[in-house]
């Protein structure tokens, strides 16, 4: 494994992508980008990152932003607890570290929403601490290099790979960690399609030598998600849509949503229950969270009087002000893209 260090670092010098958060390796931009990248691809993150940094350029502004505005800035990225943890950590940095980002792996790991990988990435890239940063990309590269058929989703496999990397970690630990991640993102691609002929490590790679790229890494999942059926109501009344705020705890907490009911309701049942002036079926949509799957059907309903149970928002307010979870977007987009059919 130690043979990979030099060619990998040389390759990174000439092949690294220009990314907005890479300009000067400062902890705040690296932190925000790492949290955004936890569940989202780089290309998709760029526009959210730019918008976020324009409005919240430093730890202090993040620590003071209102929750509604924060969730709006995070809209589209999903997994909203990440945004809330960012703010919580920014407040902790203001109170406990006088606004200076903590500089050691151990201290960074204390922040909310930061796990071993992110702490390792920030500590090594920004402060050159000799720690590893092992994410899914790195696991894939190491498994292929070693020709290992161990399940990379198991903690013990991760620990084993971390140990191997720690043994070969050079002084430029940050560069090395970034280079491994970059290789995983741009060359050693998932789903059996790595571009091995462009890989600086091909001559040291067991999978390449033995043609195992399609079989490694081994990923055996054991997730059982709860399935829920829902009927989503896009209620329209006198130029406004009904929305409501979700609970302050739990899934999508603090976000706004269209009213919805557990189970599937027929058009007849909704007519009897809500007596709409008009009703239109919006189709079905599915959304998968980490532990729950929502199977939804949506209806557009024009009602005569606005119920006080809901907050009523104009289409513009819904676009600009309220953070609407991605799960509801298919129904919203359908109404929004063909207003002549729905909004009369
Ligand atoms: S040679 Fe291919 S499989 Fe091996 S590390 Fe490089 S890209 Fe990945």
What are the extents of the domains in the chain?
2-210, 226-342
Res 291: pLDDT: 84
Distance 47 CA to ligand 1 centre (A): 30
Res. 339: pLDDT tops 80 = no
Res 105: pLDDT: 97
Give how far the C-alpha of residue 65 lies from the chain's centroid of Cα atoms, to the nearest Å.
20
> Span 196-216, mean pLDDT?
94
Distance 180 CA to ligand 1 centre (A): 11
**Nearest 10 degrees: CA dihedral of 316, 317, 323, 327?**
-50
Pocket test for ligand 1, best of 136, 202, 206, 209 (most atoms within 8 A of CB): 202
Do 226-342 and 2-210 have the same topology in CATH? no
Q: What rounded mean pLDDT belongs to the chain?
A: 92
Name the burial class of residue 324, with classes exposed (0-12), middle (13-18) and buried (19+) by CB atoms within 10 angstroms of its CB.
buried
Res. 340: pLDDT tops 80 = no
User: Which protein residue's CA is at the shortest distance from atom 2 of ligand 1?
Assistant: 196
Distance 241 CA to ligand 1 centre (A): 51
Which of ligand 1's atoms lies nearest the C-alpha of 200?
A: 6
Question: Which residues surround ligand 1 with Cβ inside 6 Å?
Answer: 141, 144-145, 187-188, 194, 196, 199, 201-202, 205, 207-208, 213
Res 154: pLDDT: 92
Confidence band for 344, pLDDT divided at 50, 70 and 90? low
What residues act catalytically?
34
Name the residue with higher pLDDT: 173 or 222: 173
Name the residue with higher pLDDT: 338 or 275: 275
Res. 191: pLDDT tops 90 = no
Least confident of 6-10, 112-116, 200-204, 323-327: 323-327
- Residue ranges of alpha helices (H) inside the chain are 5-15, 27-37, 42-55, 59-64, 67-74, 81-96, 105-108, 116-127, 136-146, 155-168, 173-186, 206-210, 267-274, 315-320, 329-337, 339-342
> Span 85-96, mean pLDDT?
97
Q: What is the DSSP string of 110-127?
A: TSTT--HHHHHHHHHHHH
Distance 205 CA to ligand 1 centre (A): 6
Which of ligand 1's atoms lies nearest the C-alpha of 140?
A: 8
Which of ligand 1's atoms lies nearest the C-alpha of 195?
A: 7
Res. 146: pLDDT tops 90 = yes
Which of ligand 1's atoms lies nearest the C-alpha of 213?
A: 3
Res 225: pLDDT: 87
CATH class of the domain defined by 226-342: alpha beta
Res. 127: pLDDT tops 90 = yes
> Span 180-209, mean pLDDT?
94
Q: Cα(224)–Cα(277) distance, rounded to whole angstroms? A: 41
User: Strands 256-257 and 226-237: what pairing?
Assistant: unpaired
pLDDT digits (tens, 9 = 90+) for 269-328: 999 999 999 999 999 999 988 789 999 999 999 999 999 999 999 988 988 889 888 899
Pocket test for ligand 1, best of 195, 213, 216 (most atoms within 8 A of CB): 213
pLDDT digits (tens, 9 = 90+) for 211-267: 999 889 999 887 688 999 999 999 999 999 999 998 777 778 788 999 999 999 999
Distance 10 CA to ligand 1 centre (A): 16
The encoded tokens of residue 78 equal 């999903």
Which of ligand 1's atoms lies nearest the C-alpha of 206?
A: 4
User: Which protein residue's CA is at the shortest distance from atom 4 of ligand 1?
Assistant: 205
Q: What is the 3-state secondary structure (H, E, C) of 10-77?
A: HHHHHHCCCCHHHCCCCHHHHHHHHHHHCCCCHHHHHHHHHHHHHHCCCHHHHHHCCHHHHHHHHCCC
Distance 194 CA to ligand 1 centre (A): 6
Res 3: pLDDT: 95
Res 297: pLDDT: 96
Topology of the domain covering 2-210: Endonuclease III; domain 1 (1.10.340)
> Span 147-168, mean pLDDT?
95
Res 342: pLDDT: 67
Res 343: pLDDT: 67
């Amino acid at each position: 494994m130690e043979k990979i260090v030099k060619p990998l670092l040389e390759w990174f010098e000439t092949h690294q992508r220009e990314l907005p958060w890479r300009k000067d390796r400062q902890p705040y931009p690296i932190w925000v980008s790492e949290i955004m990248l936890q569940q989202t691809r780089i290309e998709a993150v760029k526009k959210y990152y730019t918008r976020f940094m324009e409005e919240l350029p430093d730890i202090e502004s993040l620590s003071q932003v209102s929750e509604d505005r924060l969730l709006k800035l995070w809209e589209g990225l999903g997994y909203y607890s990440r945004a809330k943890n960012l703010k919580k950590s920014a407040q902790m940095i203001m109170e406990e570290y006088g606004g200076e980002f903590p500089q050691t792996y151990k201290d960074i790991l204390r922040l909310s929403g930061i796990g071993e990988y992110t702490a390792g990435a920030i500590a090594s890239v920004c402060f050159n601490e000799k720690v590893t940063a092992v994410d899914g990309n790195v696991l894939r590269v190491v498994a292929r290099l070693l020709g290992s058929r161990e399940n990379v989703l198991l903690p013990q496999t991760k620990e084993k790979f971390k140990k191997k990397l720690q043994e070969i970690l050079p002084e430029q630990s940050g560069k090395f960690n970034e280079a491994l991640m970059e290789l995983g993102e741009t060359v050693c691609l998932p789903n059996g399609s790595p571009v091995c002929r462009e890989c600086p490590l091909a001559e040291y790679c067991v999978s390449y030598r033995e043609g195992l790229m399609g079989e490694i890494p081994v990923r055996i999942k054991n997730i059982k998600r709860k399935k829920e059926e829902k009927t989503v109501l896009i209620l329209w009344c006198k130029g406004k849509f009904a929305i409501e705020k979700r609970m302050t705890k739990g899934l999508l907490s603090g976000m706004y949503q269209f009213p919805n009911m557990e189970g599937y309701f027929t058009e007849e049942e909704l007519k009897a229950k809500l007596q709409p002036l008009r009703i239109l079926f919006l189709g079905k949509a599915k959304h998968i969270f980490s532990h729950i799957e929502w199977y939804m059907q949506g209806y557009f309903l024009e009602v005569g009087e606005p119920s006080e149970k809901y907050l009523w928002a104009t289409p513009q307010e819904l676009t600009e002000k309220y953070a609407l979870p991605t799960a509801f977007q298919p129904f919203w987009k359908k109404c929004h893209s063909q207003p002549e059919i729905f909004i009369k």
